[in-house]
Amino acid sequence: MSGGKQVRCRAKVSWAAQSNGLLLMRQDTGASATLSYPEAAIWDLLSRNVGYERVVKIISAMERIGADRAADVVESAVRQWLVDGWLVNGGDDG
Amino acid sequence: MQDSTFVIPIIDKWLIYSPLHHLAALLNGAAVSSLRESNSRRLPESLASIKRAIEAEPARVPSPNSGPARPQFVGVIPTRACNLKCVYCGFGASSCPDRTMDLDTAVALVDWWADYAKQSGIDTLEIHFFGGEPLCAPDVVSAVVHHARRRAAEAGLAARFEIATNGCFDDDSRAFLSDYIDSVVLSLDGKSVYQDRYRPTSSGAGTFEAVAANARRLAASSTELCVRTCVTAENAKDLQESTAWMCEELNPSSIDYEVLQPTPESDAAGLAPPDPWEFATAFIRASRVAAEAGVRAVYSAASTDELRHSFCPVGTDTIIASPDGRLSACYLLEEDWQSRGIDLNVGTVDAANGVKLDQSAVERVRALTGCADRCRKCFVRRHCAGGCHVNHSYPGHPDRYDDFCVQTRLIAACRLVGGLVGDEQVDRLLSDRTEMERLALRASDTLEDWDGAAT
């Protein structure tokens, strides 16, 4: 999911756009989570195979922050999704 | 009453039409004469009720806004570049292919629009994407959509997005459109025989299969799909057939028929606009096919369900941002309107300074929407509003009806008559060129000028 980061969406996770962000759902457990911005944008962009560098540029513009800080925001979000089980490392079974 | 009520010849009858009173009726000449001359007390009740209706207080004449700008929507042109090389295109993809809007500029535009809408009492943050092909600058589209959604949610506004696209995009882009774009206006000029020739890729390959496949998938999603068809002298002959195919195969919400605007490129490709008489006939017949399928057929200029003072964004305070941060009232190329002696620029946007809107320029553009001389006595004037300010009602335009007027007058009349008495009378009209000319070329439609001739 995250270009060059070797993570991917866990199997049976779906998502839907909401007015204020994005709703993640796990079909196997029924768990859900609401992503507000900028995380909603990060998830959407990565899930549509937008390259990591481009995601960072978009987040940098949206947040009006430099590229380094934007990269931190993106990577922090991805780490949290790994912790929360929405993403898995590339080779792991979802 | 008399300058807002029109009388249009429909073979052996007369169509009385008063757009400001939302009134249409089909009468014979004696009835029109009575209506014009008599005191309503001496009229039979059926005519007296029409006379009372057209003497009642009319609806407000549509007019430009006054005071601060009040945009209906903000337009974004992320790039003029395009992945197609349509043979008739005059939108500049070949002359300025590489310029893409800066992401910081795009975000600054959204920030301004959100703040402006909130403080102006505008409840929807509406943004339309034009091109080139907007999806050739996908990061700009993504940044604008996501930032606008966030700002709208924060401000308690609705967000609405529309995109004009050529339909040649990958699955990821299609998923994005399905998820976030409310209305997709997709260009498709008919079946492969036309689409592949008129709208090839930059390498010359046909696009029909890819565009049709994307259209099908979008129509099956929650996004509204509107198909836009460019009508030429050639494909006008197959308009019914292509309409039937689109309705059956693509199931769009609407099909918008736009007559080819001649360009040096279209001339070089040997393409010409349709004959206006043939187009009007073809459109009316195609619109019946569409209606049977539950699809709305649109020829925007002749849409009588709306009173307008401007045909297009010009004069409605709409702000359209070009890739270089120039703000204007029109999505055509700057050189197009400059060649007509018109200045449609209204400001600038950039990341450092945000939006700088020139109120005097907004007012200058509003003033362009006054009624053109040739429109003053035309029954469609409150609907087509003179057509395109750059290509049709530009300063110094000829003071006589042109092909746009002819097809617009015919289609508007046919739709009004069809709504009153059904298709039979419309078919009689469309099968008689002399009667069509009598209707379409009539210099004045006003009740005041009505002479009762030819009844």
Go through B306-321 and write b for each residue having 16 or more CB atoms within 10 A of its CB, e for each that does not: eebbbbbbbbbbbbbb
**Residue B139 to chain A, least CA–CA distance (Å):** 7
**Residue A66 to chain B, least CA–CA distance (Å):** 11
Contact check, Cβ <8 Å, B139/A41: no
Q: The complex's ipTM? A: 0.93
> Tokens 């995380």 identify what position?
A39
User: Which residues, listed in sequence order, are joined to residue B260 by a DSSP beta bridge?
Assistant: none
Print pLDDT tens along chain B (455 aa).
556 899 999 999 999 999 999 999 999 999 999 988 877 678 889 899 999 999 999 988 888 999 999 999 999 999 999 999 999 997 765 566 568 999 999 999 999 999 999 999 999 999 999 999 999 999 999 999 999 999 999 999 999 999 999 999 999 999 999 999 999 999 999 999 999 999 999 999 999 999 999 999 999 999 999 999 999 999 999 999 999 999 999 999 999 999 999 989 999 999 999 999 999 999 999 999 999 999 999 999 999 988 998 888 898 999 999 999 999 999 999 999 999 999 999 999 999 999 999 999 999 999 988 777 899 999 999 998 888 888 888 888 888 999 999 999 999 999 999 999 999 999 999 999 999 999 999 999 999 999 876 54
Contact check, Cβ <8 Å, B107/A37: no
Indicate the angle between helix axes B103-120 and B138-155, nearest 10 degrees: 30
**Encoding tokens for residue B37?**
């001359």
Q: Nearest 5 degrees, angle CA B92-CA B93-CA B95?
A: 60
The rounded distance, in Å, linking the Cα atoms of B183 and B226 is 7
> Tokens 């945009």 identify what position?
B71
Residue B452: how many other CB atoms lie within 10 Å: 12
Question: Can you give the pLDDT at residue B392?
Answer: 85
Q: Are B358 and B277 in contact (CB under 8 A)?
A: no
Is B159 within 8 Å of chain A by CB?
yes
Is B319 within 8 Å of chain A by CB?
no
B positions 171-230 inside 8 Å of A (CB): 172-173, 175-176, 179-180
**Residue A92 to chain B, least CA–CA distance (Å):** 24
The rounded distance, in Å, linking the Cα atoms of B174 and B150 is 21
B positions 93-132 inside 8 Å of A (CB): 103-104, 106-107
Q: Show me where the domains of chain A are located.
A: 11-85
Separation in Å, CA B26 to CA B47, B161, B274? 11, 41, 30
Q: Residue A21's closest CA among A43, A1, A50?
A: A43
A67-85 average pLDDT score: 96
Q: Is B167 left (phi over 0), alpha (psi -120 to 50) or beta?
A: left
User: Which residues, listed in sequence order, are joined to residue B354 by a DSSP beta bridge?
Assistant: B350
Q: Are B358 and B38 in contact (CB under 8 A)?
A: no
Separation in Å, CA B44 to CA B26, B37, B268? 15, 13, 60
If one compares A10 and B177, the residue with the highest pLDDT of the two is B177
Go through B158-196 and write b for each residue having 16 or more CB atoms within 10 A of its CB, e for each that does not: ebbbbbbbbbbbeeebbbbbbbbbebbbbbbbbbeebbb
Contact check, Cβ <8 Å, B153/A58: no
Which among A44, A57, A64 has CB closest to B146? A44
| Residue of B101, B142, B174, B182 best to disrupt the A interface, most CBs of A under 10 A | B142
Contact check, Cβ <8 Å, A50/B106: no
Q: Residue B90's closest CA among B260, B284, B297, B273?
A: B260
Q: Residue B433's closest CA among B11, B142, B7, B44?
A: B11
What residues contact residue B363 under an 8 Å CB cut-off, 6+ apart? none
What residues contact residue B238 under an 8 Å CB cut-off, 6+ apart? B190, B191, B194
Could you please report the per-residue DSSP string of B274-307? Answer: PPHHHHHHHHHHHHHHHHHTT-EEE-GGG-TTS-
Contact check, Cβ <8 Å, B146/A58: yes
Q: Which residue of B has its CA nearest to A41?
A: B146
Q: Nearest 5 degrees, angle CA B137-CA B140-CA B141?
A: 90
Percent helix, strand, coil in chain A (nearest 5)? 40, 25, 35
User: In angstroms, how far apart are the furthest CA atoms of chain B?
Assistant: 72
Question: Can you give the pLDDT at residue B94?
Answer: 59
**Residue B51 to chain A, least CA–CA distance (Å):** 50
Is B157 within 8 Å of chain A by CB?
no
What residues contact residue B308 under an 8 Å CB cut-off, 6+ apart? B62, B382, B383, B384, B385
What residues of A are in contact with residue B180 (Cβ under 8 Å)? 17
The rounded distance, in Å, linking the Cα atoms of B320 and B403 is 28
Q: Residue B110's closest CA among B76, B154, B158, B135?
A: B76
**Encoding tokens for residue B384?**
């087509």
Q: Which residue of B has its CA nearest to A55?
A: B139
**Burial tier of B57 (Cβ tally within 10 Å: 0-12, 13-18, 19+):** exposed
